[in-house]
Amino acid sequence: MPDDAVVIVGASHAGFQVAASLRQAGFEGPVRLIGDEPVLPYQRPPLSKDYLLGKIGLDLLVMRPEAFYRDHRIDFLPGTRVTEIDRAGRAVRLASGERVEYGHLVLATGARNRVPPLPGVEFEGVCYLRDLAETEALRARLAAAEQVVVIGAGFIGLEFAAVATAQGKPVHCVELVDRVMARVVAVPTSHFFAAAHRRAGVEFSFGAQAVRIAGHNGRVDHVELAGGERLKADLVLVSVGVVPNAELAAAAGLAVANGIVVDEQLLTADPAISAIGDCASFPCRHADGAPMRLEAVQNAADHARCVADRIVGKPHPYTALPWFWSEQGPLRLQIAGLTTGHDQTVVRGNLEAGEFSVFCYKQGALLGIESVNRPADHAHARRLLAAGRQVTPEQAGDDSFDLRAAASVRPG
């Protein structure tokens, strides 16, 4: 294969976007997109939302139809696993034994479900929600389920709980800490969502540790908590986070620390290898350069664009503002910026009515904004934070303060 060949491992949000952006930027060399799933690249967010609900089919889930890859000369290899990187020979090895040479290699291997070390995780009825195959299996099982237990009250667990309650299923959600989405949202947002889920019929056990999944005839029967409580279940969704797929990189001698370590241009220590998306730990401009691994479509797609720019000779550091969204029943949560470590929150809008934004500050500096059913706030927040502008806590809390104008003001 010619020296300028770009080989991409992982054909999801990040991998697909590198291939598409390379062609959009006029890259003429060979592009090979290698993915171990047996389907065209598809969007993951709808898996726990409209696809699980049956509102959309595979046609709307896939990123592009097959013709796109042909038309853009993207050599897409589905159902193909890369098993080894030969850095000296600039080639990857496939599970079939075939060698594929690269000029530049992009690792977009993403993340996989974290499987907790719980006795009983192997029972039939214990499910996960990360890829299409798992979602198909979960959808079928949910239709027949009578009692659902969700372990982990993060985004995925709660999105699934919303779908399950919408289908009239009783849902019990077990969470180790004392509130929902604690890793990513502020207390007012957590409390609002917990209350909304309760109204929809979800029961919560907070500060509760699942210690065992018990079964009968190979099928799940109940989940046992540390205090001895037993939660009856014929479907258990385990949603306790993910593990980055970094083993390929580590085996090739590349640095790995909660993800594949890259610099501000998303390059590993090997100038011929980049890593992007959920598998990459990068110095984040919006966290004072601290190493960060984000799990978001925005991050995967913007990383990909940054790497494509570099490959076509327009290198620049990765500086995009992180943003994220989640849909839980009728509630749309949108987050701009990184709010970890905040010491002050200010609520703007109407919390009771479910239309509000939470501004998160650290030592008086605005870190990020969480918006619930306030899309305009979110749009302004992204512009504001991307430009490094501030609004004071007093301005944030004053609903008559013009956020749009604050986000639009040009310096000087």
**The binder of ligand FAD chosen from 120, 125, 152, 277 (CB under 6 A):** 277
CA nearest to 44, candidates 95, 113, 106: 113
> For ligand FAD, which residue of 8, 100, 111, 266 counts as binding (CB under 6 A)?
111
Residue 182 · residue 199 · CB < 8 Å: no
Question: What's the min distance (Å) between Cβ of 16 and ligand FAD?
Answer: 7
- 307 sits in the region (left: phi over 0; alpha: psi -120 to 50; else beta) called alpha
Interface pattern 234-273 for ligand FAD (x via CB under 6 A): -----------x--x-------------------------
The whole-angstrom separation of Cα 404 and Cα 392 is: 14
Shortest distance (Å) from residue 113 CB to ligand FAD: 9
Decide: is 44 part of the binding site for ligand FAD (CB under 6 A): yes
What's the CA dihedral at 360, 366, 369, 375 to 10 degrees?
150
Q: Is 163 in the site for ligand FAD (CB under 6 A)?
A: no
Binding of residue 134 to ligand FAD (CB under 6 A): no
Among the candidate windows 18-26, 108-116, 252-260, 387-395, which touches ligand FAD by CB under 6 A? 108-116
> Binder to ligand FAD among 21, 190, 326, 339 (CB under 6 A)?
326
Question: Residue 50 CB, nearest distance to ligand FAD (Å)?
Answer: 11
Strand pairing report for 235-238 and 148-151: parallel
14 near ligand FAD (CB under 6 A): yes
Choosing from 31, 33, 40, 82, the residue that interacts with ligand FAD (CB under 6 A) is 82
34 binds ligand FAD (CB under 6 A): yes
Candidates 141-149, 226-234, 295-303, 354-362: pick the segment binding ligand FAD (CB under 6 A).
295-303
Please check whether residue 173 is in contact with residue 157, taking contact to mean a CB–CB distance below 8 angstroms: yes
What counts of helices (H) and strands (E) characterise the chain?
12, 26
Residue 97 CB, nearest distance to ligand FAD (Å)?
14
Judged by CB under 6 A, the stretch of 3-11, 61-69, 146-154, 178-186 that binds ligand FAD is: 3-11
Q: Give the tokens for residue 139.
A: 């959808």
| Count of residues engaged in binding ligand FAD, rule: CB under 6 A | 36
The burial of 349, by beta-carbon neighbours within 10 Å (0-12 exposed, 13-18 middle, 19 or more buried), is given as middle
Question: Counting contacts by CB under 6 A, is residue 377 touching ligand FAD?
Answer: no
Binding of residue 32 to ligand FAD (CB under 6 A): no
Residue 257 CB partners (closer than 8 Å, separation 6+):
281, 291
Among 13, 179, 380, 382, binds ligand FAD (CB under 6 A): 13
CA pair distance 111, 130, nearest whole angstrom: 9
Give the pair of three-digit tokens for residue 230: 């037993």
Binding ligand FAD (rule: CB under 6 A), the pick from 5, 6, 12, 180 is 12
Contact 60, 102 (CB under 8 A): no
Does 48 sit near ligand FAD (CB under 6 A)? yes
Stretch that binds ligand FAD, among 167-175, 308-316, 324-332, 359-367 (CB under 6 A): 324-332
Is 297 a binder of ligand FAD (CB under 6 A)?
yes
- The span from the CA of 141 to the CA of 164, in Å, is 11
Q: Based on the shown chain and the rule CB under 6 A, indicate whether residue 156 belongs to the binding site for ligand FAD.
A: yes
Burial class for 219, CB neighbours closer than 10 Å (0-12, 13-18, 19+): exposed
The one among 324, 356, 359, 361 contacting ligand FAD by CB under 6 A: 324
The candidate with the shortest Cα–Cα distance to 74, out of 110, 25, 20, is 20
Contact between 193 and ligand FAD (CB under 6 A)?
Answer: no
By residue count, the chain amounts to: 412
Strand ranges (DSSP E) for 270-379? 273-275, 280-284, 290-292, 323-328, 331-337, 344-350, 355-362, 365-372
Which span (103-111, 285-293, 334-342, 370-378) binds ligand FAD, by CB under 6 A?
Answer: 103-111
Instruction: Give min distance, CB of 149 to ligand FAD, in A.
Output: 18
Amino acid type, 276? I
CA angle at 337 for the pair 335 and 343, rounded to the nearest 5° = 95
Asked if residues 297 and 45 have their Cβ atoms less than 8 Å apart, the reply is yes
Please say whether the beta carbons of 395 and 401 come within 8 A.
Answer: yes
Q: Which of 82/360 has CB closer to ligand FAD?
A: 82
Interface residues with ligand FAD (CB under 6 A)? Answer: 9-15, 34-37, 44-45, 47-48, 81-82, 108-111, 129-130, 156, 245, 248, 277-278, 295-298, 300, 324-326
